[in-house]
Amino acid sequence: MLFNSLEFMVFLPVVLTIWFFSKGVLLRQFILVISSFIFYSWGNPWHLFLLLLSGTIDYQIGKRLHLKKSLSLLLTSIFLNIGILAFFKFGHALTDSMSSDFLLLGIPIGVSFYTFQSMSYSLDIYRGKLKPADNLIHFFSFLAFFPQLVAGPICRGEELLGQMKNLSAKQVNYEEAFRFLAIGFFQKMFLADYLGKSVDNAYNSSFFIESGITWWLIHFCFGYQIYMDFFGYTNIARGLAGLLGITLPENFKFPYFANSLTNFWRSWHITLSSWFRDYVYYPLGGDKKGISLSYLFIFITFLLSGIWHGSTFNFVIWGVFCGLMIIGERILLKLYRKKEFLFFGHFLVIFTITISWVFFRSPDLHFSFKVLERMLSLNGLSRFHLNRADQFMLFFLLLSVSFDFFHFKINQKKGTIKELILLNCIIPITVFFRLGEKMFVYFRF
């Protein structure tokens, strides 16, 4: 079920009404769990079976880890979740040697997110940082919470389990919740969807675009499409959770205003970046084992991040490229004074991230390198002109950048007249100019 669907517009008021008039924390937890199961199974009921199976196993493992610290139990949880991910991410490669009937059911939406969330639950209990959930209902209210189930933010047990034990309508901040919802739906249903329409038209064109400048414009647009789409989803999720008295963690901190690649990735998909930092980079040794090894650990972390996003070589190369760019930036920061380097940092961020999006969006490596050859040679510069499609892309790109800048400014001072003006502008635009029910980009992961 999509947040921007008519079904969800019926589903949400029903859930909120039942939840609001319910008494007792356990009953409210139960309502959230049942609602989340209905939400998740709406498009493909069999996906719910996998969530129930993996979640129940991790819940039982968590209980036993709390009683006795067992490495074998922890590894069972890790291999279970990684095995589920690997099967659905890479199973298509085995279809020549096995029946593909099971795979034809599709990759379960959100599997990359809830497996990481469930894995962190077991890891934190093993480390002694978390007490297990009180019961299975309490656990699934954490794991299957519908606002963030299919595309994050990826929550830790310490962030949600405690809140699920204190569910109360008195904790609802309606003003903040509706602010998140208004901004999120505008980011997704207006900015991201219109940018996505232009990008898809370019990629699905019957002829290959020869102009390198046009490809730069396309990937500037794709960068902001995926940003507005995912940032929009996160804001909608935080708004929906807020209506239920739950606070979800921040997932974006205006990354396109970062002055270094390090700061960009600290501000982009924060809950995934911090997950890899805490459960991969730090356990490998972080920066405590010397500079050379820290570079290796960064490379491994970004490589795994690329694989998490997809099974094709494009995502592997994307992860490798981003990791190498971070390592290169760290080396440059040691050679030059930080102030001098960061003066050009923002331009480096825009250039590098835009190059990386080519691998992220292209259907295969051959197409990626073909596009990059045009972009880096600025092919067709002398013959470049803005046709109507280019003008459309440029308009929505500038509109997205302007909105992001204004949003960044008012986010520092909430409740001002500027914010009120912004909300009064974007709500009618979203309602009257939306493109309909478009899938969120990160649902494919």
137 and 121 fall within a common domain: yes
Euclidean distance between CA atoms 36 and 246, whole angstroms = 14
| Average pLDDT of the residues in 50-58 | 93
Whether 118 is in a domain gets the answer yes
| pLDDT tens sequence across 287-332 | 888 888 999 999 999 999 999 988 788 999 999 999 999 999 888 8
Number of domains in the chain: 2
Question: pLDDT at residue 437 above 60?
Answer: yes
| Residue finishing a domain among 169, 190, 213 | 169
184 and 332 fall within a common domain: yes
126 and 227 fall within a common domain: no
**What pLDDT is attached to residue 173?**
86
Whether 79 is in a domain gets the answer yes
230 and 82 fall within a common domain: no
91 and 201 fall within a common domain: no
305 and 360 fall within a common domain: yes
Least confident of 85-89, 135-139, 196-200, 355-359: 85-89
149 and 231 fall within a common domain: no
| pLDDT tens sequence across 210-246 | 888 899 999 999 999 999 999 999 999 999 999 999 9
Whether 341 is in a domain gets the answer yes
| pLDDT tens sequence across 320-374 | 999 999 999 888 877 776 666 666 788 889 999 999 999 999 999 999 999 999 8
**What pLDDT is attached to residue 166?**
87
147 and 184 fall within a common domain: no
| Residue finishing a domain among 118, 149, 169 | 169
**What pLDDT is attached to residue 97?**
43
Give me the chain's average pLDDT, please. 88
155 and 178 fall within a common domain: no
**What pLDDT is attached to residue 386?**
73
Please state the pTM of the whole predicted model.
0.92
| Residue finishing a domain among 169, 202, 217 | 169
Confidence label for 99 from pLDDT (cuts 50, 70 and 90): very low
The domain in which residue 222 lies consists of 174-444
326 and 310 fall within a common domain: yes
Whether 1 is in a domain gets the answer no
**What pLDDT is attached to residue 419?**
75
Question: pLDDT at residue 411 above 90?
Answer: no
Whether 31 is in a domain gets the answer yes
308 and 393 fall within a common domain: yes
Question: pLDDT at residue 1 above 70?
Answer: yes
371 and 428 fall within a common domain: yes
Q: What percent of the chain is modeled with pLDDT above 70? A: 92
Confidence label for 438 from pLDDT (cuts 50, 70 and 90): confident
Q: What percent of the chain is modeled with pLDDT above 90? A: 62
Q: Which residues are catalytic?
A: 309
